[in-house]
Amino acid sequence: MAPLPPYLAGKMGEHNLHLPFWVGAICTFLAVVVLFIGRKTIHSEHRPGAHSLEEAEAITLGDD
């Protein structure tokens, strides 16, 4: 599966030198659109507990 993308880019480049770059740009754009649409699913509503700040300060200062 790994040698497939360079092979396809080479075949596309034989027909039009710019085509592999356009395909890459379109794939990148589609990936950004998918991430933008699914941002609510990706975003986590994790809120640290009240003790997290004290634990962080103790670990930072070396007082385990």
Distance CA 21, CA 27 (A): 10
**Backbone φ, ψ for residue 38 (5° rounding):** -95, 15
6 or 42, higher pLDDT = 6
- In the chain, where are the structural domains located? 4-61
Structure token digits, residue 42: 């990706």
Average pLDDT over residues 13-21: 92
Q: Looking at residue 2, what is its pLDDT?
A: 82
Other Cβ atoms within 10 Å of 48 Cβ, number: 9
Place of tokens 């990148």: 28
Model pTM? 0.58
7 or 2, higher pLDDT = 7
Other Cβ atoms within 10 Å of 20 Cβ, number: 18
Q: Looking at residue 44, what is its pLDDT?
A: 66
Q: Looking at residue 63, what is its pLDDT?
A: 55
